[in-house]
Structures are given as C-alpha cells and as structure tokens.
Amino acid sequence: MKTTSPLTATTRALMTVWLISTAWTAWAAPISDPQLEKVIQHGKELFTHNTFEGNGRVCQTCHLGGGAEPGRLPDGKVIPSLANAAAIFPRFKPNQGKVFTLADQIRSCAGAALEGKAPAHGSDELNALVTYVTSLSQGKPIDMGGKPQ
C-alpha cells in the first residue's frame, strides 16, 4: 500500500522529531564520571538531610522530590522546582541589587530559609550542593535570567 497522504507525511515528520529528541535526551542525560557522581550523591545527601545548624529545616523541606518537583513553602505556597535552576543562573536579583550565581542562591537559602550557617565559597559542602543542583539541569539549554520550571 502506498502511503503518501499529507497526514502520513506529517506523522512521519513528527515521529522523526520525536526520535531525534529522545535520542538527544538519552545521549545528554547520563553522568558517567564516577568521581563526579560521588559528589552529586554527597550534595543530594546534604540537600535532603543537612540542617546547617539552623532551624531544623533541610533544603527538601521546601524543594520537594530532591528539588526535581515543584516545591512548597511552610505556609503552603507552591514554588517552582529546581529542575532548570542551573540553566537560569547567574541571574539579576532585584531585591539584592546584584547578579547572583547558583552558589550565592544556595548560600542565601541556607542562611535565610534554614537560618543556618551557609557553607563557605570553595567548601566541599557548597561545591557538593552546587554539583547536585546542577545535575538536575543536565541536558537543559543555558537560559540565563530565564524562568524557573
């Protein structure tokens, strides 16, 4: 049977786009370096368990599902996920009057939201948190100043 109807052609084009995007995602997603993976896991552990000697909250108290899902503040307000956070930082923070890097944002949440001791720039803890949060954005195109997902 000959299949030359416009619908078939459109379907075939859509299938091709879908196949290419699936192959691209599969190619871009895995993180294969075991040393990097170790630091990602350290960061995930800090994200889900460390209070940074603060008020008892951890990052995951607000950023649910390890940050991959939309979050919820203690008052119930829904906030975006961190699924593309590394792709949209650095960004200008109007309330701070300056450009914030991802590390600055993480230190700000540790100090304000956790009321804890924000890990120092260059520390293993901050590096691990930045590495973990960045891993959530693996494969996403850089979109500095863009909207959180």
- Under a CB-based contact definition with an 8 Å cutoff, are residues 135 and 39 in contact? no
- Under a CB-based contact definition with an 8 Å cutoff, are residues 62 and 81 in contact? no
Shortest distance, position 59 Cβ to ligand HEC, whole Å: 3
**Token pair listed for 80:** 């975006």
Binding to ligand HEC in span 7-66, by CB under 6 A: 47, 57, 59, 61-63
Indicate the residue among 39 and 133 with the shorter CB distance to ligand HEC: 133
- Under a CB-based contact definition with an 8 Å cutoff, are residues 81 and 70 in contact? yes
Indicate the residue among 20 and 68 with the shorter CB distance to ligand HEC: 68
Site string for ligand HEC, 72-91 (x = CB under 6 A): -xx----x--x--x--x---
Binding to ligand HEC in span 88-147, by CB under 6 A: 88, 102, 105-106, 109-110, 113-114, 129, 133
Indicate the residue among 40 and 88 with the shorter CB distance to ligand HEC: 88
Q: Which residues bind ligand HEC (CB under 6 A)?
A: 47, 57, 59, 61-63, 73-74, 79, 82, 85, 88, 102, 105-106, 109-110, 113-114, 129, 133, 148
